[in-house]
Structure 1
Protein backbone atom coordinates (compact mmCIF):
# COMPACT_ATOMS: atom_id res chain seq x y z
CA UNK A 1 0.00 0.00 0.00
CA UNK A 2 3.04 2.28 -0.29
CA UNK A 3 4.18 3.51 -3.71
CA UNK A 4 7.79 4.77 -3.87
CA UNK A 5 7.28 6.89 -6.99
CA UNK A 6 4.23 8.66 -5.54
CA UNK A 7 6.15 9.18 -2.30
CA UNK A 8 9.13 10.70 -4.11
CA UNK A 9 6.94 13.11 -6.08
CA UNK A 10 5.08 14.10 -2.91
CA UNK A 11 8.29 14.73 -0.97
CA UNK A 12 9.57 16.86 -3.85
CA UNK A 13 6.37 18.92 -3.85
CA UNK A 14 6.32 19.40 -0.08
CA UNK A 15 9.97 20.29 0.22
CA UNK A 16 10.02 22.75 -2.64
CA UNK A 17 11.61 26.12 -2.00
CA UNK A 18 8.53 28.04 -0.87
CA UNK A 19 7.06 25.40 1.45
CA UNK A 20 10.47 24.41 2.79
CA UNK A 21 11.10 27.98 3.92
CA UNK A 22 7.90 27.97 5.97
CA UNK A 23 8.51 24.47 7.29
CA UNK A 24 11.97 25.40 8.52
CA UNK A 25 10.97 28.85 9.77
CA UNK A 26 8.39 27.72 12.32
CA UNK A 27 10.59 25.19 14.17
CA UNK A 28 13.52 27.60 14.02
CA UNK A 29 11.36 30.26 15.68
CA UNK A 30 10.38 27.81 18.42
CA UNK A 31 14.02 26.94 19.13
CA UNK A 32 15.00 30.63 19.17
CA UNK A 33 12.20 31.37 21.63
CA UNK A 34 13.30 28.46 23.82
CA UNK A 35 16.92 29.62 23.88
CA UNK A 36 15.91 33.21 24.63
CA UNK A 37 13.53 32.24 27.43
CA UNK A 38 16.02 29.86 29.03
CA UNK A 39 18.74 32.53 28.86
CA UNK A 40 16.56 35.26 30.33
CA UNK A 41 14.52 33.37 32.94
CA UNK A 42 16.30 30.07 33.50
CA UNK A 43 14.65 26.65 33.68
CA UNK A 44 11.02 26.81 34.72
CA UNK A 45 8.47 24.02 34.27
CA UNK A 46 5.47 26.34 34.08
CA UNK A 47 7.06 28.53 31.42
CA UNK A 48 8.18 25.50 29.44
CA UNK A 49 4.69 24.02 29.52
CA UNK A 50 3.17 27.33 28.45
CA UNK A 51 5.45 27.73 25.43
CA UNK A 52 5.20 24.12 24.32
CA UNK A 53 1.45 23.98 24.84
CA UNK A 54 0.46 27.36 23.46
CA UNK A 55 2.91 28.15 20.69
CA UNK A 56 4.29 24.74 19.75
CA UNK A 57 1.27 22.43 20.00
CA UNK A 58 -1.38 25.12 19.70
CA UNK A 59 0.02 27.01 16.71
CA UNK A 60 3.14 25.53 15.12
CA UNK A 61 2.05 21.89 14.82
CA UNK A 62 -1.35 22.58 13.16
CA UNK A 63 0.21 25.12 10.78
CA UNK A 64 2.82 22.58 9.69
CA UNK A 65 0.01 20.05 9.36
CA UNK A 66 -1.88 22.43 7.08
CA UNK A 67 1.19 22.93 4.89
CA UNK A 68 2.04 19.23 4.66
CA UNK A 69 -1.50 17.82 4.54
CA UNK A 70 -2.96 20.14 1.94
CA UNK A 71 0.32 20.36 0.01
CA UNK A 72 0.51 16.60 -0.42
CA UNK A 73 -2.30 16.58 -2.99
CA UNK A 74 -4.11 19.91 -3.21
CA UNK A 75 -1.78 21.63 -5.71
CA UNK A 76 -1.88 18.61 -8.04
CA UNK A 77 -5.67 18.78 -8.13
CA UNK A 78 -5.69 22.56 -8.56
CA UNK A 79 -3.31 22.62 -11.54
CA UNK A 80 -4.66 19.44 -13.12
CA UNK A 81 -1.40 17.52 -12.92
CA UNK A 82 -3.15 14.87 -10.81
CA UNK A 83 -4.53 13.52 -14.10
CA UNK A 84 -1.08 12.21 -15.02
CA UNK A 85 -0.82 10.44 -11.68
CA UNK A 86 -4.29 8.95 -11.94
CA UNK A 87 -3.47 7.66 -15.42
CA UNK A 88 -0.94 5.29 -13.88
CA UNK A 89 -2.07 1.78 -12.85
CA UNK A 90 -1.90 2.62 -9.16
CA UNK A 91 -4.90 1.94 -6.89
CA UNK A 92 -6.43 5.16 -5.58
CA UNK A 93 -6.24 4.07 -1.91
CA UNK A 94 -2.51 3.44 -2.42
CA UNK A 95 -2.06 6.99 -3.72
CA UNK A 96 -3.88 8.48 -0.73
CA UNK A 97 -2.14 6.26 1.82
CA UNK A 98 1.29 7.02 0.35
CA UNK A 99 0.66 10.75 0.35
CA UNK A 100 -0.69 10.54 3.91
CA UNK A 101 2.42 8.71 5.13
CA UNK A 102 4.64 11.30 3.49
CA UNK A 103 2.62 14.15 5.01
CA UNK A 104 2.82 12.50 8.43
CA UNK A 105 6.56 12.00 8.11
CA UNK A 106 7.13 15.63 7.15
CA UNK A 107 4.84 16.94 9.88
CA UNK A 108 6.43 14.80 12.59
CA UNK A 109 9.94 15.75 11.47
CA UNK A 110 9.20 19.47 11.50
CA UNK A 111 7.07 19.48 14.67
CA UNK A 112 7.69 16.65 17.14
CA UNK A 113 11.49 16.76 16.87
CA UNK A 114 11.73 20.56 17.34
CA UNK A 115 9.26 20.34 20.24
CA UNK A 116 11.46 17.76 21.92
CA UNK A 117 14.54 19.90 21.36
CA UNK A 118 12.81 23.04 22.62
CA UNK A 119 11.61 21.19 25.71
CA UNK A 120 15.12 20.13 26.60
CA UNK A 121 16.35 23.67 26.04
CA UNK A 122 13.63 25.16 28.21
CA UNK A 123 13.84 22.95 31.29
CA UNK A 124 16.04 19.95 30.55
CA UNK A 125 12.99 17.66 30.24
CA UNK A 126 12.06 18.18 33.88
CA UNK A 127 8.89 16.20 34.71
CA UNK A 128 9.20 14.63 31.25
CA UNK A 129 7.56 17.75 29.80
CA UNK A 130 9.67 17.70 26.63
CA UNK A 131 8.88 14.04 25.97
CA UNK A 132 5.19 14.47 26.78
CA UNK A 133 4.70 17.38 24.42
CA UNK A 134 6.79 15.69 21.72
CA UNK A 135 4.52 12.64 21.93
CA UNK A 136 1.47 14.91 21.72
CA UNK A 137 2.97 16.68 18.69
CA UNK A 138 3.66 13.38 16.94
CA UNK A 139 0.13 12.07 17.60
CA UNK A 140 -1.42 15.36 16.51
CA UNK A 141 0.68 15.26 13.33
CA UNK A 142 -1.04 12.03 12.26
CA UNK A 143 -4.57 13.37 12.73
CA UNK A 144 -3.83 16.80 11.25
CA UNK A 145 -2.21 15.25 8.19
CA UNK A 146 -5.22 13.00 7.56
CA UNK A 147 -7.75 15.80 8.07
CA UNK A 148 -5.93 18.37 5.94
CA UNK A 149 -5.19 15.82 3.21
CA UNK A 150 -8.94 15.22 3.07
CA UNK A 151 -9.51 18.97 2.76
CA UNK A 152 -7.12 18.93 -0.19
CA UNK A 153 -9.32 16.45 -2.03
CA UNK A 154 -12.65 18.16 -1.45
CA UNK A 155 -11.97 21.87 -1.95
CA UNK A 156 -9.64 24.24 -3.75
CA UNK A 157 -9.58 26.32 -0.58
CA UNK A 158 -8.09 23.58 1.58
CA UNK A 159 -5.51 25.87 3.16
CA UNK A 160 -8.22 28.33 4.22
CA UNK A 161 -10.35 25.56 5.72
CA UNK A 162 -7.29 24.16 7.47
CA UNK A 163 -6.39 27.53 8.96
CA UNK A 164 -9.98 28.09 10.08
CA UNK A 165 -10.00 24.77 11.89
CA UNK A 166 -6.53 25.14 13.39
CA UNK A 167 -6.59 28.80 14.37
CA UNK A 168 -10.28 29.59 14.81
CA UNK A 169 -11.90 26.37 16.00
CA UNK A 170 -9.07 24.96 18.13
CA UNK A 171 -7.30 28.13 19.29
CA UNK A 172 -10.32 30.43 19.67
CA UNK A 173 -13.41 28.32 20.33
CA UNK A 174 -11.37 25.60 22.00
CA UNK A 175 -10.22 28.08 24.63
CA UNK A 176 -13.50 29.96 25.04
CA UNK A 177 -16.07 27.14 24.81
CA UNK A 178 -15.30 24.16 27.07
CA UNK A 179 -17.51 21.75 25.11
CA UNK A 180 -15.64 22.48 21.89
CA UNK A 181 -12.46 21.04 23.34
CA UNK A 182 -13.89 17.55 23.00
CA UNK A 183 -13.68 17.99 19.22
CA UNK A 184 -10.11 19.27 19.29
CA UNK A 185 -7.21 17.27 17.88
CA UNK A 186 -4.96 19.25 20.20
CA UNK A 187 -6.82 18.00 23.28
CA UNK A 188 -6.86 14.42 22.01
CA UNK A 189 -3.10 14.54 21.49
CA UNK A 190 -2.57 16.09 24.93
CA UNK A 191 -4.40 13.14 26.48
CA UNK A 192 -1.68 10.83 25.14
CA UNK A 193 1.12 13.26 25.91
CA UNK A 194 -0.18 13.40 29.46
CA UNK A 195 0.65 9.72 29.88
CA UNK A 196 4.24 10.25 28.73
CA UNK A 197 4.89 13.13 31.14
CA UNK A 198 5.04 13.18 34.91
CA UNK A 199 1.71 13.27 36.71
CA UNK A 200 0.17 16.73 36.58
CA UNK A 201 2.73 18.15 34.16
CA UNK A 202 0.36 18.07 31.17
CA UNK A 203 -3.43 18.16 31.28
CA UNK A 204 -6.17 17.46 28.76
CA UNK A 205 -9.92 18.02 28.83
CA UNK A 206 -10.52 14.67 27.09
CA UNK A 207 -10.15 11.28 28.77
CA UNK A 208 -7.58 8.94 27.22
CA UNK A 209 -9.96 6.18 25.93
CA UNK A 210 -12.18 8.75 24.22
CA UNK A 211 -9.15 10.58 22.81
CA UNK A 212 -7.72 7.38 21.30
CA UNK A 213 -11.08 6.43 19.82
CA UNK A 214 -11.60 9.86 18.26
CA UNK A 215 -8.05 9.98 16.87
CA UNK A 216 -8.43 6.57 15.23
CA UNK A 217 -11.90 7.38 13.91
CA UNK A 218 -10.83 10.72 12.42
CA UNK A 219 -7.64 9.40 10.84
CA UNK A 220 -9.28 6.29 9.39
CA UNK A 221 -12.43 8.12 8.30
CA UNK A 222 -10.58 10.98 6.65
CA UNK A 223 -8.26 8.59 4.80
CA UNK A 224 -11.16 6.46 3.60
CA UNK A 225 -13.20 9.41 2.38
CA UNK A 226 -10.20 11.01 0.68
CA UNK A 227 -9.76 7.77 -1.27
CA UNK A 228 -13.40 7.90 -2.32
CA UNK A 229 -13.05 11.51 -3.41
CA UNK A 230 -10.00 10.67 -5.49
CA UNK A 231 -11.85 7.75 -7.07
CA UNK A 232 -14.78 10.05 -7.92
CA UNK A 233 -12.36 12.54 -9.45
CA UNK A 234 -10.93 9.77 -11.63
CA UNK A 235 -14.35 8.69 -12.81
CA UNK A 236 -15.29 12.28 -13.62
CA UNK A 237 -12.16 12.66 -15.69
CA UNK A 238 -12.77 9.42 -17.54
CA UNK A 239 -16.30 10.41 -18.39
Structure 2
Protein backbone atom coordinates (compact mmCIF):
# COMPACT_ATOMS: atom_id res chain seq x y z
CA UNK A 1 0.00 0.00 0.00
CA UNK A 2 1.31 3.46 -0.84
CA UNK A 3 0.29 6.97 0.14
CA UNK A 4 -3.01 7.76 -1.55
CA UNK A 5 -3.81 10.86 -3.56
CA UNK A 6 -7.60 10.57 -3.69
CA UNK A 7 -9.48 13.78 -4.38
CA UNK A 8 -11.06 14.69 -1.07
CA UNK A 9 -11.47 17.98 0.78
CA UNK A 10 -8.15 18.74 2.40
CA UNK A 11 -8.05 19.78 6.03
CA UNK A 12 -6.12 22.89 6.99
CA UNK A 13 -2.43 22.12 6.52
CA UNK A 14 -1.51 24.08 9.62
CA UNK A 15 -4.03 22.34 11.87
CA UNK A 16 -3.16 18.93 10.45
CA UNK A 17 0.55 19.56 10.95
CA UNK A 18 0.00 20.67 14.55
CA UNK A 19 -2.22 17.68 15.35
CA UNK A 20 0.23 15.22 13.82
CA UNK A 21 3.11 16.90 15.61
CA UNK A 22 1.41 16.37 18.99
CA UNK A 23 0.64 12.76 18.08
CA UNK A 24 4.25 12.04 17.12
CA UNK A 25 5.70 13.74 20.19
CA UNK A 26 3.61 11.42 22.33
CA UNK A 27 4.63 8.48 20.18
CA UNK A 28 8.39 8.99 20.40
CA UNK A 29 8.65 10.38 23.93
CA UNK A 30 8.12 7.03 25.61
CA UNK A 31 9.21 6.48 29.19
CA UNK A 32 11.90 4.02 28.13
CA UNK A 33 13.48 6.36 25.60
CA UNK A 34 13.32 9.36 27.93
CA UNK A 35 14.88 7.42 30.80
CA UNK A 36 17.64 6.00 28.60
CA UNK A 37 18.59 9.26 26.89
CA UNK A 38 17.95 11.33 30.01
CA UNK A 39 20.34 9.11 31.95
CA UNK A 40 23.04 9.78 29.37
CA UNK A 41 22.38 13.51 29.70
CA UNK A 42 22.77 13.29 33.48
CA UNK A 43 26.07 11.46 33.04
CA UNK A 44 27.13 14.26 30.69
CA UNK A 45 26.38 16.91 33.33
CA UNK A 46 28.30 14.92 35.94
CA UNK A 47 31.19 14.75 33.50
CA UNK A 48 31.22 18.55 33.33
CA UNK A 49 31.46 18.67 37.12
CA UNK A 50 34.37 16.24 37.04
CA UNK A 51 36.15 18.25 34.35
CA UNK A 52 35.80 21.46 36.36
CA UNK A 53 36.95 19.76 39.55
CA UNK A 54 40.10 18.62 37.78
CA UNK A 55 41.13 22.30 37.51
CA UNK A 56 42.18 22.31 33.83
CA UNK A 57 44.88 24.76 32.78
CA UNK A 58 42.69 26.36 30.11
CA UNK A 59 39.00 26.50 31.01
CA UNK A 60 37.91 27.52 27.51
CA UNK A 61 39.72 24.61 25.89
CA UNK A 62 38.22 22.25 28.46
CA UNK A 63 34.71 23.62 27.87
CA UNK A 64 35.07 23.31 24.11
CA UNK A 65 36.34 19.76 24.51
CA UNK A 66 33.32 18.92 26.67
CA UNK A 67 30.86 20.46 24.20
CA UNK A 68 32.60 18.78 21.28
CA UNK A 69 32.39 15.35 22.90
CA UNK A 70 28.67 15.69 23.53
CA UNK A 71 27.82 17.24 20.18
CA UNK A 72 29.60 14.36 18.47
CA UNK A 73 27.96 11.56 20.47
CA UNK A 74 25.06 12.36 22.80
CA UNK A 75 23.18 14.69 20.47
CA UNK A 76 23.30 12.48 17.33
CA UNK A 77 22.44 9.37 19.35
CA UNK A 78 19.40 11.10 20.86
CA UNK A 79 18.32 12.38 17.45
CA UNK A 80 18.71 8.86 16.09
CA UNK A 81 16.66 7.23 18.85
CA UNK A 82 13.80 9.71 18.56
CA UNK A 83 14.03 10.56 14.85
CA UNK A 84 14.22 7.04 13.47
CA UNK A 85 11.19 6.06 15.55
CA UNK A 86 9.04 9.03 14.55
CA UNK A 87 7.89 7.54 11.24
CA UNK A 88 9.99 4.38 11.18
CA UNK A 89 7.94 2.67 13.90
CA UNK A 90 4.71 3.54 12.10
CA UNK A 91 6.05 2.15 8.83
CA UNK A 92 7.33 -1.04 10.46
CA UNK A 93 4.02 -1.88 12.13
CA UNK A 94 1.88 -0.63 9.26
CA UNK A 95 0.06 2.05 11.26
CA UNK A 96 1.38 4.74 8.90
CA UNK A 97 -1.69 3.96 6.78
CA UNK A 98 -3.83 5.77 9.34
CA UNK A 99 -1.92 8.97 8.65
CA UNK A 100 -2.45 8.42 4.95
CA UNK A 101 -6.22 8.34 5.42
CA UNK A 102 -6.14 12.11 5.60
CA UNK A 103 -5.66 13.77 2.19
CA UNK A 104 -2.41 15.51 3.06
CA UNK A 105 0.87 15.89 1.15
CA UNK A 106 3.54 13.55 2.47
CA UNK A 107 5.80 16.43 3.47
CA UNK A 108 3.38 17.20 6.29
CA UNK A 109 4.12 13.82 7.90
CA UNK A 110 7.87 14.23 7.49
CA UNK A 111 7.99 17.80 8.79
CA UNK A 112 5.78 16.85 11.74
CA UNK A 113 8.14 13.96 12.56
CA UNK A 114 11.17 16.25 12.31
CA UNK A 115 9.57 18.94 14.48
CA UNK A 116 8.58 16.33 17.07
CA UNK A 117 12.12 14.96 17.15
CA UNK A 118 13.66 18.41 17.56
CA UNK A 119 11.16 19.30 20.29
CA UNK A 120 12.03 16.22 22.32
CA UNK A 121 15.80 16.16 21.71
CA UNK A 122 16.43 19.84 22.49
CA UNK A 123 15.32 19.77 26.14
CA UNK A 124 16.45 16.20 26.81
CA UNK A 125 20.05 16.47 25.56
CA UNK A 126 20.93 19.87 24.09
CA UNK A 127 19.75 21.90 27.08
CA UNK A 128 21.72 19.85 29.66
CA UNK A 129 24.89 20.12 27.57
CA UNK A 130 24.53 23.88 27.19
CA UNK A 131 23.59 24.30 30.86
CA UNK A 132 26.61 22.26 31.98
CA UNK A 133 29.15 24.09 29.81
CA UNK A 134 29.36 27.16 32.11
CA UNK A 135 30.19 24.82 34.98
CA UNK A 136 33.54 24.51 33.23
CA UNK A 137 33.85 27.96 31.66
CA UNK A 138 31.08 30.59 31.99
CA UNK A 139 32.48 32.79 29.22
CA UNK A 140 30.18 33.94 26.43
CA UNK A 141 32.37 32.22 23.84
CA UNK A 142 32.14 28.83 25.52
CA UNK A 143 28.42 28.93 26.24
CA UNK A 144 27.45 30.62 22.98
CA UNK A 145 29.40 28.22 20.79
CA UNK A 146 28.01 25.21 22.65
CA UNK A 147 24.45 26.51 22.35
CA UNK A 148 24.69 27.30 18.65
CA UNK A 149 26.41 24.03 17.74
CA UNK A 150 23.94 22.03 19.83
CA UNK A 151 20.88 23.61 18.22
CA UNK A 152 22.25 23.26 14.68
CA UNK A 153 23.24 19.68 15.47
CA UNK A 154 19.79 18.73 16.76
CA UNK A 155 18.14 20.29 13.71
CA UNK A 156 20.43 18.53 11.22
CA UNK A 157 20.67 15.12 12.87
CA UNK A 158 16.92 15.02 13.47
CA UNK A 159 16.25 15.55 9.77
CA UNK A 160 18.80 12.92 8.76
CA UNK A 161 17.46 10.28 11.12
CA UNK A 162 13.81 10.95 10.32
CA UNK A 163 14.87 10.25 6.74
CA UNK A 164 16.67 7.11 7.89
CA UNK A 165 13.48 5.93 9.57
CA UNK A 166 11.62 6.34 6.28
CA UNK A 167 14.38 4.93 4.08
CA UNK A 168 15.52 1.91 6.11
CA UNK A 169 13.70 -0.75 8.02
CA UNK A 170 15.24 -0.89 11.49
CA UNK A 171 17.13 2.35 10.99
CA UNK A 172 18.96 2.27 14.34
CA UNK A 173 21.86 0.08 13.12
CA UNK A 174 22.30 2.28 10.04
CA UNK A 175 22.36 5.38 12.21
CA UNK A 176 24.88 3.88 14.61
CA UNK A 177 27.13 3.01 11.68
CA UNK A 178 26.93 6.59 10.42
CA UNK A 179 27.66 8.13 13.84
CA UNK A 180 30.39 5.79 15.03
CA UNK A 181 32.01 4.58 11.81
CA UNK A 182 31.53 7.33 9.25
CA UNK A 183 31.71 10.40 11.47
CA UNK A 184 34.03 8.77 14.00
CA UNK A 185 36.60 7.29 11.61
CA UNK A 186 35.94 7.68 7.88
CA UNK A 187 35.53 11.47 8.14
CA UNK A 188 39.22 11.66 9.05
CA UNK A 189 40.26 9.92 5.84
CA UNK A 190 40.15 12.91 3.53
CA UNK A 191 38.59 16.24 2.62
CA UNK A 192 35.63 14.70 0.77
CA UNK A 193 34.72 12.47 3.70
CA UNK A 194 35.05 15.43 6.05
CA UNK A 195 32.57 17.43 3.99
CA UNK A 196 30.04 14.59 4.28
CA UNK A 197 30.13 14.52 8.08
CA UNK A 198 27.74 16.78 9.98
CA UNK A 199 30.07 16.61 12.97
CA UNK A 200 32.79 18.51 11.10
CA UNK A 201 30.48 21.50 10.61
CA UNK A 202 29.44 21.53 14.25
CA UNK A 203 33.08 21.40 15.29
CA UNK A 204 33.71 24.32 12.96
CA UNK A 205 31.08 26.34 14.82
CA UNK A 206 32.83 25.66 18.12
CA UNK A 207 36.25 26.42 16.68
CA UNK A 208 35.21 29.59 14.84
CA UNK A 209 33.58 31.21 17.87
CA UNK A 210 36.20 30.23 20.45
CA UNK A 211 39.38 30.19 18.31
CA UNK A 212 40.17 26.78 19.80
CA UNK A 213 41.59 24.38 17.23
CA UNK A 214 39.54 21.19 16.86
CA UNK A 215 40.20 18.25 14.58
CA UNK A 216 37.91 18.45 11.50
CA UNK A 217 36.83 21.97 12.45
CA UNK A 218 38.12 23.34 9.17
CA UNK A 219 35.19 25.44 7.95
CA UNK A 220 34.16 29.00 8.70
CA UNK A 221 31.27 29.92 10.96
CA UNK A 222 28.84 30.67 8.12
CA UNK A 223 29.58 27.36 6.40
CA UNK A 224 29.32 25.54 9.72
CA UNK A 225 25.79 26.87 10.17
CA UNK A 226 24.43 26.96 6.63
CA UNK A 227 25.53 23.53 5.37
CA UNK A 228 23.82 21.51 8.14
CA UNK A 229 20.64 23.54 7.61
CA UNK A 230 20.75 22.85 3.87
CA UNK A 231 21.32 19.17 4.64
CA UNK A 232 18.23 19.28 6.84
CA UNK A 233 16.09 20.71 4.04
CA UNK A 234 17.44 18.17 1.54
CA UNK A 235 16.84 15.28 3.95
CA UNK A 236 13.26 16.36 4.61
CA UNK A 237 12.58 16.82 0.89
CA UNK A 238 13.96 13.40 0.03
CA UNK A 239 12.17 11.85 2.99
CA UNK A 240 8.87 13.27 1.74
CA UNK A 241 9.44 11.86 -1.72
CA UNK A 242 10.51 8.52 -0.33
CA UNK A 243 7.50 8.28 1.97
CA UNK A 244 5.18 8.93 -0.96
CA UNK A 245 6.59 5.82 -2.65
CA UNK A 246 6.73 3.62 0.44
CA UNK A 247 4.93 0.29 0.21
CA UNK A 248 3.22 -1.11 3.29
CA UNK A 249 2.39 -4.85 3.21
Q: TM-score normalised to the size of structure 1?
A: 0.87
The Cα of 1:27 is off from its aligned counterpart by: 1.1
Assess if the C-alpha contact under 8 Å between 2:37 and 2:125 holds in 1.
no
- Report the 3-state secondary structure (helix = DSSP H, G, I; strand = E; otherwise coil) of the residue aligned with 2:219: coil
Cα distance in 2, alignment partners of residues 52 and 217 from structure 1: 23
The answer for the alignment partner of 1:52 in structure 2 is: 67
The answer for the alignment partner of 1:5 in structure 2 is: 19
Q: Does 1:171 align with 2:184?
A: yes
- Report the 3-state secondary structure (helix = DSSP H, G, I; strand = E; otherwise coil) of the residue aligned with 2:182: helix
Q: Which consecutive unaligned segments of at least 5 residues does structure 2 have?
A: 1-12
User: Over residues 165-211 of structure 1, what are the superposed CA-to-partner deviations in whole Å (9 max), with x where a residue is unaligned?
Assistant: 1111111223454542222111212333445x34x136521234444
- Report the 3-state secondary structure (helix = DSSP H, G, I; strand = E; otherwise coil) of the residue aligned with 1:30: helix
Cα distance in 1, alignment partners of residues 130 and 225 from structure 2: 22
- Report the 3-state secondary structure (helix = DSSP H, G, I; strand = E; otherwise coil) of the residue aligned with 1:206: coil
Select the residue among 162, 165, 168 that pairs with 1:149. 162
Q: Does the C-alpha gap of structure 1 residues 48 and 105 become closer, same or farther in structure 2, counting only changes over 3 Å?
A: same
The answer for the alignment partner of 1:18 in structure 2 is: 32
- Report the 3-state secondary structure (helix = DSSP H, G, I; strand = E; otherwise coil) of the residue aligned with 1:64: helix
- Report the 3-state secondary structure (helix = DSSP H, G, I; strand = E; otherwise coil) of the residue aligned with 1:38: helix
Pairs aligned (count): 232
Greater RCO, CA 8 A, separation 6+: 2
The Cα of 1:73 is off from its aligned counterpart by: 1.0
Q: Does the C-alpha gap of structure 1 residues 48 and 205 become closer, same or farther in structure 2, counting only changes over 3 Å?
A: same
The Cα of 1:126 is off from its aligned counterpart by: 2.8
Cα distance in 2, alignment partners of residues 221 and 96 from structure 1: 12
Task: Note the aligned Cα RMSD (angstroms).
Answer: 2.2
Q: Which consecutive unaligned segments of at least 5 residues does structure 1 have?
A: none
Cα distance in 2, alignment partners of residues 165 and 27 from structure 1: 21
Cα distance in 2, alignment partners of residues 95 and 111 from structure 1: 24
- Report the 3-state secondary structure (helix = DSSP H, G, I; strand = E; otherwise coil) of the residue aligned with 2:185: helix
Q: Does the C-alpha gap of structure 1 residues 58 and 101 become closer, same or farther in structure 2, counting only changes over 3 Å?
A: same
